[in-house]
Amino acid sequence: MTKSQYYIPIGPIHPALKEPIRVEAKVEGEKIVEADVKRGFAHRGIEYMGMKRNAIQALYLSERICGICSISHPYAFVVGSEKALGIEAPPRAQYIRTIIAELERIHSHILWLGVVAHEVGFDSLLFWTWKGREKVLDVLELISGNRINYSMYMIGGVRRDLKESHIKALKEMIDYYRIFNQEMKNLFLADPVYKARTRGVAQLSKEMALKVNAVGPTARAAGLRMDIRQDIPYDAYADIEVRGIVPQDIVGEVYGDAYDATLVRIYEIDQSVDIIEYCIDNLPEGKIMAIPNYVVLLSKIKRTKGEGIGAHEAPRGEVIHYFKYDGTRDGPAVWKVVAPSYNNINSWAPLLLGAEVADIPVVVAYIDPCMCCNDRIAVVRDSSGKIVDSTTLHRMAVEKTMRIKKELGVKK
């Protein structure tokens, strides 16, 4: 019996959230023989625009690369630019930067956990986690004036100082999240339904994670102990011995699956809370900007030649910015941005290859930290050419999960 090949596009429009992306798979019966990920539905040419603007304008542009990591890109931007230009931020500014970055990690991880809850069909958990997320957004709004896109960083410092009232709100928030995170551990990690739905799903081995260049929690869930805050410590992270959180340290074994990814993220919230507490207890006094005048800063940039690489561990993985200032313009001559999902999406194709149609939603949903919703516009045809609806697709996904579980011998 010959099997004809069918082409399955998924995306690029997802109803609920995240940027558009498209997974295209060729299937033979149930088996995927070719998978391609088409990106670029959100390609705005930011690097090109940044190379035409001055450094401060480009910094604001970098904030709009991603609205969720809206402080990670500016962080890598300022670290890279400071390396290239030979500017050093005052200690107080470095501590404030670290606090803001960790606040963002908390909000981003809770966001992800809520979306995962939505994917497993546990919508009340989505609403509950997002209710908890509002607390950190309130604190960020109090400090920076905006819920998202905080505009806190500047080359050589930060733009706003932390006041006594902010410290008080931060301390209150720390107490809140100590309790909230404990509840999250109970709801996610101890829940048998959640475990059954995620254990053994979208498994990425350590070797594969290395090969596809995976970063951040996706790599750490696979057992790779990599974290920019630990490998190339910068700012206040250099004062604190930050260590990457890997599942083998917590439960003693690594599966590299969606459950491990959840585990890593929940424990990282604990770590972030500890880092924030350390930073506010040891916050140095002093200036917050190395060069407070923007005109002076821009003219220094115009006079300076240099290159630098800035790296920051964003909630989803490492963000790398490369800069070259050529001494003729007040902006970067070359600017290259590598975001975490740029690398993590690499893992989709190998995980899909040889897998089955039912795996597409599973792989796309669990591996990518930039999650997208399952109920996207998709036309899926089975081998008889009949259109498979989303309910059937979902049932197939559940069956596949059960089978993988059996094959891997996952315990209850």
Partner 1 sequence: MGKLYSFKRSLWVFHASGGSCNGCDIEIIATLTPRYDAERFGIKLVGSPRHADVLLVTGAIPRDFADKLRRIYDQMSDPKAVVVVGNCGTSGGLFYDSYNLVGPIDEIIPVDVYVPGCPPRPEAIIDGVVKAWLKIEKLEKQLEGGE
Partner 2 sequence: MTLKAEEILNILKNSLGDALIEQEIKTYSLGALRKRECSEVWIKIDRGAFRKAVEEIFKLDYPHLHFITGEDVGENLEVIYSFGLFHGQPGKEISVVIKLALPKSELVLPTITDLMMGAETNEREIREMLGVEFEGLKKKRHLFLPDDWPEGKYPWRRDEFGVDDMIKHTHKSVKEIRGGKE
Report the C-alpha dihedral over residues 70, 74, 79, 85, rounded to 10 degrees.
Answer: 180
For residue 221, CA distances in Å to 74, 255, 320, 370 come to 26, 8, 21, 15
CB of 389 to partner 2, least distance (A): 28
CB of 111 to partner 1, least distance (A): 7
Residues in region 364-383 near partner 1 by CB under 8 A: 373, 375-377
Q: Which of 1, 2, 4, 48 binds partner 1 (CB under 8 A)?
A: 48
**Should residue 199 be labelled a site residue for partner 1 when binding is judged by CB under 8 A?**
no
How far is the C-alpha of 113 from the C-alpha of 119, rounded, in Å?
Answer: 10
- Say if residues 52 and 331 touch (Cβ distance below 8 Å): yes
Residue 10 structure tokens: 């998924």
**Should residue 9 be labelled a site residue for partner 1 when binding is judged by CB under 8 A?**
no
CB of 146 to partner 1, least distance (A): 8
Bridge partner residues of 309 (DSSP): 322
**Should residue 193 be labelled a site residue for partner 1 when binding is judged by CB under 8 A?**
no
H helices present in 282-389, as ranges = 294-303, 340-344, 348-352, 359-367
Among all chains, which residue has been given the structure tokens 């706003």?
160
Contact window for partner 1 (CB under 8 A) among 37-45, 154-162, 282-290, 354-362:
37-45
In the complex with partner 1, the residue whose CB is nearer, 116 or 404, is 116
How far is the C-alpha of 306 from the C-alpha of 355, rounded, in Å?
Answer: 47
Give the number of residues in contact with partner 1, rule: CB under 8 A: 44
> Of 67, 51, 55, 61, which Cα lies nearest the Cα of 19?
67
Residue 225 structure tokens: 């102990």
CB of 25 to partner 2, least distance (A): 14
In the complex with partner 2, the residue whose CB is nearer, 89 or 111, is 89
Among all chains, which residue has been given the structure tokens 């230009």?
85
Residue 309 interacts with, from partner 2, partner 1, none (CB under 5-8 Å by kind): partner 2
Residues that bind partner 2 (CB under 8 A): 36, 38-40, 43, 45, 47-48, 51, 83, 91, 94-95, 210-215, 224-226, 230-239, 241, 243-244, 282, 284, 307, 309, 311, 320, 322, 324, 333-334, 336, 338, 342-343, 345-346, 350
Residue 236 interacts with, from partner 1, partner 2, none (CB under 5-8 Å by kind): partner 2
Residue 398 structure tokens: 């559940």
**Should residue 176 be labelled a site residue for partner 1 when binding is judged by CB under 8 A?**
no
CB of 397 to partner 1, least distance (A): 16
Residue 172 interacts with, from partner 1, partner 2, none (CB under 5-8 Å by kind): none
- Say if residues 364 and 372 touch (Cβ distance below 8 Å): yes
In the complex with partner 1, the residue whose CB is nearer, 24 or 307, is 24
Q: What single string gives the DSSP state of each residue in 257-299?
A: SHHHHHHHHHHHHHHHHHHHHHHHHTPPPS-SBSS--HHHHHH
How far is the C-alpha of 269 from the C-alpha of 340, rounded, in Å?
Answer: 18
**Should residue 52 be labelled a site residue for partner 1 when binding is judged by CB under 8 A?**
yes
For residue 374, CA distances in Å to 32, 301, 321, 359, 371 come to 18, 46, 32, 12, 9
CB of 18 to partner 1, least distance (A): 7
Q: Is the peptide bond before 284 cis (omega within 30 degrees of 0)?
A: no
**Should residue 145 be labelled a site residue for partner 1 when binding is judged by CB under 8 A?**
no
CB of 394 to partner 2, least distance (A): 30
In one-letter notation, the amino acid at residue 23 is V
Residue 373 interacts with, from partner 1, partner 2, none (CB under 5-8 Å by kind): partner 1
> Of 254, 272, 246, 234, which Cα lies nearest the Cα of 100?
272
Residue 68 interacts with, from partner 1, partner 2, none (CB under 5-8 Å by kind): partner 1
In the complex with partner 2, the residue whose CB is nearer, 51 or 410, is 51
CB of 104 to partner 1, least distance (A): 12
How far is the C-alpha of 229 from the C-alpha of 373, rounded, in Å?
Answer: 30
In the complex with partner 1, the residue whose CB is nearer, 17 or 179, is 17
In the complex with partner 1, the residue whose CB is nearer, 80 or 114, is 114
**Should residue 12 be labelled a site residue for partner 1 when binding is judged by CB under 8 A?**
yes
Contact residues toward partner 1 (CB under 8 A) are: 12-20, 40-46, 48-49, 52, 60-61, 64-68, 70, 111, 114, 126-128, 130-131, 133-134, 137, 147-149, 373, 375-377
